[in-house]
Structure 1
Amino acid sequence: MNEIVMPKLSDTMTEGRIVSWKKRVGEAVRRGDVLAEVETDKANMELEAFASGVLLEIRVQSGELAQVGTVIAVIGKAEEKAAQAAPPEAAAPKAEPAAAAPEPEAVTAAPKAEPAAAAPKSEAAPKTEAGEPAAVPPKGEPAAAAKGAGREPPLEEAMELGGFQAREPAAATEEKPPTTEEKPAATPPGTAPPGERQGEAAPHEGGAAEREAAGGAEAERFPGQLPTESRERAAPVVRRRARELGIDLGQVKGSGPEGRILLQDLESYHPEPVPGESGRPAAPVVKGAAETGPKPLSRLRAAIAKTVTESWNSIPHFSVTMDILMDDAEALRRQLKQSGMPVTLNDVVVKGVSRALQAFPQLNASFVAGGIQLHSEINIGIAVGVPDGVLMPVVSGCQHLSLLEISQAGRGLVERARAGSLTEQEMSGGTFSVSNLGMYGVSEFNAIIYPSQAAVLAVGAVVDAAVVRAGVPAGAKLMKVTLSADHRLADGAYAAAFLVELKGILENPVRLLL
């Protein structure tokens, strides 16, 4: 068998959440198949199988968190699954012969079962300890059918409904009714007899109708829980949150895959008024709690909060800003587009930064204990906005790439970032970052340096502006860029000189093609 563990899918990942499983228990799996979608601290990523076989077990359900290295599933051969399952006969407790008629032992969870063959052959319905007739299955049907043994609740359901539920062996068994000579063993003090424990039905007593009635009672006591057949529509974390908010999950429409209910569905849920009750106030306490209570952070939002706090508290930032005329760069971009090579202004900036960094290596470095770690490769992270935050995929080896190659690599990273399919390699190893808010009309801003990097360039919008050229006013395409740098690695003059170099490259973009 092969154990599948929660992998470390990013350099800062310590735990992950299973968004959804793409394979089911018992389904064939081939090496390279996508097993699950995992939410990391940076993005949702696909988890691929590293071995072929059959998915024998899923240990971490959808919506649940697991630490890196935790076993989340098991892949093996079909016969290994059969070997794991204990035979019903082996699971059955050893029973005494009926003729001996010993006094039954005291129990706290479930009555000791006797073999069906040892049951009395009386046609009369056996009596329970309370003196009421017990359910007897019709002739020709196994005894287990009348006792409800055909449906065993999942362990997760049993745990959530308040305590452990006793379970009989899989083999069909029948309890031996006590005779007039037999005396039930005394129940230990503080322990309720079987079937009378508070909040728990007697194990294996009653048929489907009783189970259905019990299920309705449980639904009354536990709002937020789905019926058993629909529980797979919501992960445990969602059911728990629904109970906290007092929301009936049966009334919530899921927006996830196959109609699964997600946490955001609970936050946006507003119950419809019941006909005939329009004048009744709509649960102000629960409603108010949902609106005023803290909204849980997503994995990505929590990771961003941790990263920027670490950076701001540990890196002494300073910033310098410069105007760059982008007329020629914009003309080059249009010419390339007309030639069938779509290049964005952000691609032009990234290429220009990679050229400038070769002349200013201390901005392509990391501050480490004992000195400055210069990086031989120029790996530029590009900020990509996603619904819940920002991702920073990395274009690696920019000094070796042409403008068109940088454009192609960047376009692919942006598409995968928005689709949530970035790999660990695409999210790691950055040595410098570029953040562009120009498409939103932002003229200038200061960005926060990514930990382990020396600087980040904030790019503003290209705007029409009036400039003076050779003493004559003229119109121009103007862009402001702001460099935030680590003062331990660079000073203001060094940072300003870098921007002068970048300005010279972008205002004479033919240098980008050399």
Structure 2
Amino acid sequence: MATTVRMPEVLANTTEAAIQSWSVAVGDEVAVGQPLAEIETDKAVVEYAAEVSGTVLELLVAEGDLVDVGAPIAVVGEPGEATTSTDAAPAPAATAGDAPADPESAAPVADAEPAFDESTASQEDVASPDGGGETGSAPDAGRRFMSPLVRRLVREHGIDLVGVTGSGPEGRIVRRDVEPLIAAKGAAPAEPAAPKAEATYAQQAAPAQEAAPAASAASTPPAPPAAATTPGADADLIPHTRMRRTIARRLVESKTQVPHFYLTAECRVDRLLELRRELNAAGTVKVSVNDLVVKAVAGALADVPEANRTWSDDGVLQHRAADIAIAVALDDGLVTPVVRGVEGLSVSELGRRIADLAERARSGGLRQHEIEGGSFSVSNLGMYGTREFTAIINPPHAGILAVGAARRAPVVVDGVLEVGTVMSVTLSADHRVLDGAVAARWLAAFQARIEHPLTILA
């Protein structure tokens, strides 16, 4: 019997997604675990593996099409097997015209990292310069490449793409290419007007008051003015991307629902820097300070296992491995891919994995499992010269270490003042899981490993 493959919820609480590219064609044989498609959400582009074996009988969704989670996207079965009529009717995702002003507000926040990189756009054939044509309806000479996000912006704002040169990979049109055109046309699409049923409370509760003299109406306090969103002579309006909205919502949720507290330490890193120089001189893989920091974080989690825990509604989860998320900056946000089992990796192998994840995060090539899970995060702004900062916890992680720049500073050693190299780090901890004493012991263990770096390699 043929099996209908439906759009998966590739990340928790995702409500819609697009097929960025198919990895199979009709007639191909697929096995469980074989890549089926690359799926693009507002947070990431992830590889979706087949969950059934058989022959691909139909592909119901074109590359670039946005559909609801749970909608049919393909049919797999035996060669020549008939498919049912319901297989050929995938439910499209809500369009911009009938969606609320913030289409993501209806869905709860996922506990995975936001990671939508529109520069990794899927290929789309556009029949006309305004982007309104159907996929595959244009000749090769008229092909324009863009992501579902760009296509939606083009349609929402009525943008003419004649003369637009894509700055993304292989000339793809990305968000930054259309933003100036959007700004030139004026404000973003207006918020939907409130229906009459949502009139003022006085109109709903007492319709007779509508006929009252204006003097009585004046006694009702006026509603506070809405924040200005129309660009003026001194400002340009840059429309929110889906990723920026997701980041904003998740960070607000973290700060309001997760009880943060902070601990700061200064680590002397002269020995650490010397170890790094020796490793890079002897090895073929260049090791960064951040690689050593992440390895020290894993070592401290092994020293204080009570810190390797996360909160859940059913109880506290005690993690056995050090799965650590690394903050990676994108053009318009950030993503935190997870390196798993850091405690068992050599520093050079850890460096390779971090570099690979960072590169694929920026190009949109992360897989689903690479942006989920973990118990701890590291955010390093030292390369920008930032002395110290505090970071917001990335749920469901119980902590995030903010790493500042290494700098020359006066230090006291055995009562004698001398010049050394120090690095400030700040731990943001979830007080639901980590008590102050546990967090302090973890930070002390981390500091000890940084200041005695040979313990990092053990």
TM-score by length of 2: 0.68
Q: Does 1:67 align with 2:68?
A: yes
Deviations 1:300-348 (A, max 9, x none): 3333223222211111111111110001011111111111143221121
Partner Cα distance (2:149, 2:352) in 1: 40
Q: Choose which of 296, 299, 312 in structure 1 pairs with 2:255.
A: 312
RMSD (Å), alpha carbons: 3.7
Contact map agreement 1:381 1:392 (CA 8 A) in 2: yes
TM-score by length of 1: 0.61
CA shift in 2, pair 1:484/1:239, >3 Å: closer
Q: Does 1:364 align with 2:308?
A: yes
> What is the aligned partner in structure 1 of residue 113 from structure 2?
none
Letter in structure 2 aligned against 1:287: K
> What is the aligned partner in structure 2 of residue 7 from structure 1?
8
> What is the aligned partner in structure 1 of residue 361 from structure 2?
417
Paired positions, count: 365
Return the offset for 1:506. Answer: 0.9
Partner Cα distance (1:474, 1:258) in 2: 54
Alignment map for 1:298-377 (pairs within 5 Å): 298-340=241-283, 341-369=285-313, 371-377=315-321
Q: Which runs of structure 1 show a deviation greater than 6 angstroms over 4 or more consecutive aligned residues?
A: 81-84, 234-237
CA shift in 2, pair 1:258/1:426, >3 Å: closer
Partner Cα distance (2:431, 2:384) in 1: 29
Letter in structure 2 aligned against 1:317: H
Contact map agreement 1:363 1:432 (CA 8 A) in 2: no
Q: Which runs of 5+ in 2 are unaligned?
A: 86-91, 93-127, 189-229
Partner Cα distance (2:170, 2:406) in 1: 44
Contact map agreement 2:338 2:373 (CA 8 A) in 1: yes
> What is the aligned partner in structure 2 of residue 399 from structure 1?
343
CA shift in 2, pair 1:494/1:423, >3 Å: same
Q: Choose which of 284, 288, 292 in structure 1 pairs with 2:186.
A: 288
Letter in structure 2 aligned against 1:288: G
Q: Does 1:384 align with 2:386?
A: no
Identity score, percent? 42
Secondary structure at 2:273 match in 1: helix
Partner Cα distance (1:52, 1:370) in 2: 39
CA shift in 2, pair 1:294/1:52, >3 Å: farther
Partner Cα distance (1:82, 1:497) in 2: 61
Partner Cα distance (2:148, 2:334) in 1: 27
Return the offset for 1:480. Answer: 0.3
> What is the aligned partner in structure 1 of residue 138 from structure 2?
229
Report which of the two structures shows the higher radius of gyration computed on alpha carbons. 1
Contact map agreement 2:75 2:83 (CA 8 A) in 1: no
Q: Choose which of 40, 58, 62 in structure 2 pairs with 1:56.
A: 58
Deviations 1:26-55 (A, max 9, x none): 675755776543222432123455656456
Letter in structure 1 aligned against 2:287: V
Contact map agreement 1:11 1:428 (CA 8 A) in 2: no
Return the offset for 1:263. Answer: 4.7
Contact map agreement 2:307 2:438 (CA 8 A) in 1: no
Return the offset for 1:8. Answer: 2.8
Letter in structure 2 aligned against 1:513: L
> What is the aligned partner in structure 2 of residue 142 from structure 1?
none
Structure number with the bigger relative contact order (C-alpha 8 A, sep ≥ 6) is 2
Once the two structures are overlaid, the 10-residue window that deviates more, 38-47 or 424-433, is: 38-47
Contact map agreement 1:364 1:453 (CA 8 A) in 2: no
> What is the aligned partner in structure 1 of residue 395 from structure 2?
451
Secondary structure at 1:468 match in 2: strand
Secondary structure at 2:352 match in 1: helix
Deviations 1:323-375 (A, max 9, x none): 10001011111111111143221121112112212232332112334653322
Q: Choose which of 223, 246, 266 in structure 1 pairs with 2:178.
A: 266
Return the offset for 1:461. Answer: 0.8
Deviations 1:50-70 (A, max 9, x none): 6564563433x4444323222
Once the two structures are overlaid, the 10-residue window that deviates more, 416-425 or 330-339, is: 416-425
Alignment map for 1:137-148 (pairs within 5 Å): none
CA shift in 2, pair 1:286/1:358, >3 Å: closer
Once the two structures are overlaid, the 10-residue window that deviates more, 395-404 or 291-300, is: 291-300
Return the offset for 1:472. Answer: 3.3
Q: Which runs of 5+ in 1 are unaligned?
A: 85-155, 157-218, 271-284
